[in-house]
Amino acid sequence: MTKTIQITEAAVLDALRTVMDPELGKDLVTLNMIRDIRVEGANVKFNLMLTTMACPLKKELETNSINAVKAIPGVNEVIITTGAEVPQSKKLPDKAPIPGVKNTIAVASGKGGVGKSTVAVNLALALARSGAKVGLLDTDIYGPSLPTMLGLHEPLQATQEEKLVPLEKFGMKLVSVGFMLDEETPLIWRGPLIMQLVKQFLMGVEWGELDYLVIDLPPGTGDVQLTLVQTIPLTGAVIVTTPQDVALIDARRAIKMFHEVKVPVLGIIENMSFFICPHCNEKSEIFSHGGGEKTSDRYQVPFLGKIPIDMEIRAGGDSGNPIVESAPESTHSQAFVTIAQSVASRISILDLA
């Protein structure tokens, strides 16, 4: 008489605890990525919930999970349903969050001219293209670039409750002071008025349900940055720099500022890292090299990647059609996609740190 082997949910969980996410450094059960286990005789079904559908390890995690469960005596077939769910960090300061917004990502730089807004726009686009619900807030009050970079020049409207309604393009919700002014009108305001406007943009906007609100900060460590960290619980900050020393010195100040106000630094992005000649394919490191990685090591924050100098990236920003949207399969676009995946991964493990 053949003895029937009883397969239990506990045995399935134990098997899946051996499957590690190499990027996050934890097993799938600890990461709460295994959901709804069903044992139906000799068949096992469960859901694998990723932090983004664009996860580059999706196939590897699926294969390793199937093999781990099939190693359980008596298992015949393993069926995985893969989905994605953007987590909301629980380790946030004791401040009122923006209603409906799971995660807020500040994109900062110590100085101007490093391409921070270009990075913010393409990072937000890459997150949106992965299937996430994304908003983009331009808080560079004196030099708003969002209208030009996204080719959008419409005024913001308000609800009956006097909340601003974001504009929408490329699947993202967008707010900028540039939507309230024409291109040639300067905003000549002192600090208190700037702080009041930033608060309005954070809490007085009908953002709806968002997985990520990417906040493009002005350069430096001034009133806008201070207002931001005092008003909402920031999930984390991304620092944009270029490789040369003058930019890195200011980037280090930005890192230290976020450390002092207890905001996690999700990582450093080195923009304008190198130039590939379109005629001879020779690589030139115009602004030196290795500075971003050295700063990453020195301050023990992740190095998220390098973005090259490229005419298509510049042209995309000037024409209102950023490269992640206009050429999603290009090498330069994929650099932003990889960085976006790393940012999403860093956010997903903040509570495990």
Outline which parts of the chain fall under CATH 3.40.50.300.
101-352
Phi first, then psi: give them for residue 148, nearest 5 degrees: -70, -45
User: Are 137 and 172 spatial neighbours (Cβ–Cβ below 8 Å)?
Assistant: no
Identify the pLDDT of residue 222: 73
Cα 353 to Cα 346: distance, rounded to the nearest angstrom: 10
Tell me 5's DSSP state.
Answer: P
Outline which parts of the chain fall under CATH 3.30.300.130.
9-84
- Helices 245-260 and 291-299, packing angle to 10 deg: 30
Residue 90 φ/ψ region, left for φ over 0, alpha for ψ in the -120 to 50 degree band, beta for the rest: alpha
Q: Read off the pLDDT of residues 310-339 as tens digits, 9 standing for 90 and up.
A: 777 877 777 888 989 988 888 888 999 999
- For the whole model, what pTM was predicted? 0.83
Identify the pLDDT of residue 265: 93
CA distances from 334 to 128, 202, 254, 340 (A): 14, 30, 26, 10
CATH number for 101-352: choose from 1.10.340.30, 2.40.50.100, 1.10.3720.10, 3.40.50.300: 3.40.50.300
CA distances from 272 to 27, 186, 219, 318, 340 (A): 36, 29, 17, 17, 17
Identify the pLDDT of residue 1: 43
pLDDT < 70 positions in the chain: 1-4, 53-54, 89-95, 182-191, 221, 245-247, 274-279, 281-290, 351-353
Give the residue among 239, 262, 234, 251 at the shortest CA–CA distance from 339.
239
User: Are 269 and 240 spatial neighbours (Cβ–Cβ below 8 Å)?
Assistant: yes
Identify the pLDDT of residue 106: 93
Domain at 9-84: CATH code: 3.30.300.130
B/e letters for 183-199, b = 16+ CB within 10 Å, e = fewer, are: eeeeeeeeeeebbebbe
Identify the pLDDT of residue 203: 87
Identify the pLDDT of residue 135: 96
Residues sharing a CB contact under 8 Å with residue 163, sequence separation 6 or more, in sequence order? 204, 205, 206
Residue 89: CB atoms within 10 Å: 18
Vertex 271: Cα angle to 270 and 272 (nearest 5):
125
What are 261's two structure tokens? 């106000």
